[in-house]
Structures are given as C-alpha cells and as structure tokens.
Amino acid sequence: MDRQQYGRLARAERRARSRARLDWRQRVAVELADQHGGVARRRDLLRAGLTTDDIRAEIERGVWHRGGSHTVVVHGTVPEGEGVLWRALWESTSSSVLDGASSLVVAGLEHFTPSAVDVSVPNNVVARDIDGVRLHRVRDVGPAIRTGLRRTRPEVAVLRAAEWAASDRQAATIIAMTVQQNLVSPPAVLERWRGVVASSRRELLEAVINDVCDGVHSLNELDFAALCRARGLPEPTRQAVRRGPRGRVYLDVLWEDLGLHVEIHGAHHMQGLTGIDDALRGNDIQLGDPGLVTLVVPVLGLRLQPDAFLDQVERAIRGARRRRAG
C-alpha cells in the first residue's frame, strides 16, 4: 500500500469514526430528550459522556438548539409541551418547584391552560428571571412531589393558583375544577386553607372554598332570601314541597303566589352523575306544574355575579306579576 492509498484509508477511517460518534451522541441526546418532553439538560448530556465541544458542534450544525444556559432542545427548535416545564425548572434553580396552575396541570388538571409557567423558590435562594416563567419567592414552598417534574402538592397548588389568578372568576374556577376533577380531596383543601395566614382574596376564597368543599357552610336558601330582601324583592317561601313520580320533591326557593321557583345549585351539583339527577328532578317539577317558571342559580355564580342573577330574578318576578294580572 503506497502513501496515497494509506492516506485515503486513514481519512475514511476518521470519517467513519466521526460518523459513529455523531450517531452515538444523537442517540444519547434523543434518549434523554424523550424522557423530558423533547429537551435535555446539559449536565445530563455531559454525564452521559458528551463533551462541551460535542454539544456546541450539534448546536452550530443546527441539529440541536439552545433553550437556555442549561437546556438543549433536541426535538424541534424551541421547548414545547412538557419541555417548557423542564426548562423552567432547570433554568431557575435546583430548589425550584412548579406551583399554582402549572403544578395542577402536571397533576392532571384538564380544560385549563396557564398563561405562563408558575415556579416557586424559597425566598432565601438566588434565582434568575426567565422568559415565560412567573417566579414566586415564598417563605415556605410547602409539601412537594420531588420525583419527575418537581411540583407542589395539589392542596398547596390550588390555593396558590387561586391567589395568583388573573381575576376572582378565574380563582373560583380553578378551585372548583380542581376539586371536581378529583385532583385533591375537599378535606385536604380545607385543612391547608385553615393554615393560610395572609391572602389578598381571603373573603372570596373563604366563601368559594366553603361552597366547593364544605356544603354545611355553603351559601344556601337563607342567604339567597337575604340577598332578595336587600334588593327589595318580595320574601320567598323556602324549601317548599311538591309530589312527583319519584316521591317528594323539595324546591329550594319558591314564590308560591307568582309561580316562580329558583333552584340553588351548590358545587356538588357539577360532580359525577348529579347533573343527571338534577335534570330528572327539574323535568318532574316542570311536568307537574307547567305554569311554574324555574330559574337555576349556581352558588359560585351568585358569589361572583350576584347582580346579574338577581337581575334575572327581578325580571322573572315582573313577568310573573304581569301574567297574574293578565
């Protein structure tokens, strides 16, 4: 073999080795990224045997992309889905945890999309601000799940999500959805709430948590009657009784002389198969007295938009009076 042939063979071997290393580091990165929503942590890549030059070369070739100081995007060009959450944890601090609505989404909350990733850190820890991440410095992070995506437990996360919500309506929605989707038990929420010292929404959250988690202390027919009196509306009959095909039917609020019925629906009416029972009950009432007008008022709606629902009651009373007069 002459020198020229030897040179060609050496170059071929170098190319083969280079190709093999490229394939190897790609396999390593893909394996890590598949476990983390399409992203990999630099430290994990280095532990697996890659060098900083390997990582830099793949980024310069456009195969991988930089997602932050500690994050490498292996699948795609920017973090997406679960990768956004891993990036938030890696780029903040090792003491950080997902919190609020972000923690609830990881726990399984459906039909709610946070506008940013909520991350909490102890207030004595130095953490960097990150695009797309709301960083909360708290005195006590509270009970947390440390395996997988680090996150606060649902009973902690739901109260903070309500506290940080964009509006009172969103705060009430998050509490109701979390309990209704069985991500946390009502007693766990009540116990955690009793230990909360400071809250910018204390009055609202106290009412909503009682409505959702503790029916005994929920807004009831007596409270509704008081709201009617304050509005100057006539006093209704409370807990009237009718007979239906399935036996006795209790009407929450009734104006007997006007043929107007208001049904107060607590949070439990939105759980499981309760809606089916409500529909059957409501149909029985309507079929038993076709002249009866029925309005449904959700407790949470009455908490958040009392005037809107009382406007409807007032309109119904005026309409009933016109019908009686005619």
Residue 208 and residue 175 share a domain: yes
Residue 239 and residue 162 share a domain: no
Number of domains in the chain: 3
Can you give the pTM of this predicted structure? Answer: 0.76
pLDDT computed for residue 11 by the predictor: 65
pLDDT computed for residue 180 by the predictor: 85
Residue 242 and residue 172 share a domain: no
The domain boundary residue, chosen from 46, 73, 100: 73
The domain boundary residue, chosen from 194, 217, 240: 217
Q: Is the dihedral of CA 109, 206, 238, 250 positive or negative?
A: positive
pLDDT computed for residue 273 by the predictor: 45
Q: Tens place of pLDDT for every residue, the chain, 326 residues?
A: 455 554 555 566 667 677 888 899 999 999 999 999 999 999 999 999 999 999 999 999 999 999 999 999 999 999 999 999 999 999 998 999 999 999 999 999 999 999 999 999 999 988 888 999 999 999 999 999 999 999 999 999 999 999 999 999 999 999 989 998 999 999 999 999 999 989 999 999 998 998 888 764 456 677 888 888 899 999 887 666 666 666 666 677 888 888 888 888 876 545 544 555 666 666 676 656 677 888 888 888 888 888 999 999 999 999 988 888 76
SS (H, E, C) the chain: CCHHHHHHHHHHHHHHHHHHHHHHHHHHHHHHHHCCCCEEEHHHHHHCCCCHHHHHHHHHCCCCEECCCCEEECCCCCCCCHHHHHHHHHHHCCCCEECHHHHHHHHCCCCCCCCCEEEEEECCCCCCCCCCEEEEEECCCCCEECCCCCEECHHHHHHHHHHHCCCHHHHHHHHHHHHHCCCCCHHHHHHHHHCCCCCCCHHHHHHHHHHHHCHHHCCCHHHHHHHHHHHCCCCCEEEEEEEECCEEEEEEEEECCCCEEEEEECHHHHCCCHHHHHHHHHHHHHHHCCCCEEEEEEHHHHHHCHHHHHHHHHHHHHHHHHHHHC
pLDDT computed for residue 294 by the predictor: 86
Sole residue written with tokens 């009970």: 143
pLDDT computed for residue 274 by the predictor: 52
- The enclosing domain of 262 has a CATH number of 3.40.1350
pLDDT computed for residue 267 by the predictor: 61
pLDDT computed for residue 272 by the predictor: 47
Neighbouring C-beta atoms of residue 135, cutoff 10 Å: 19
Residue 307 and residue 252 share a domain: yes
pLDDT computed for residue 277 by the predictor: 63
Domain that holds residue 165: 82-217
Neighbouring C-beta atoms of residue 204, cutoff 10 Å: 18
Residue 247 and residue 206 share a domain: no
Separation between Cα atoms, residue 133 and residue 148, nearest integer Å: 19
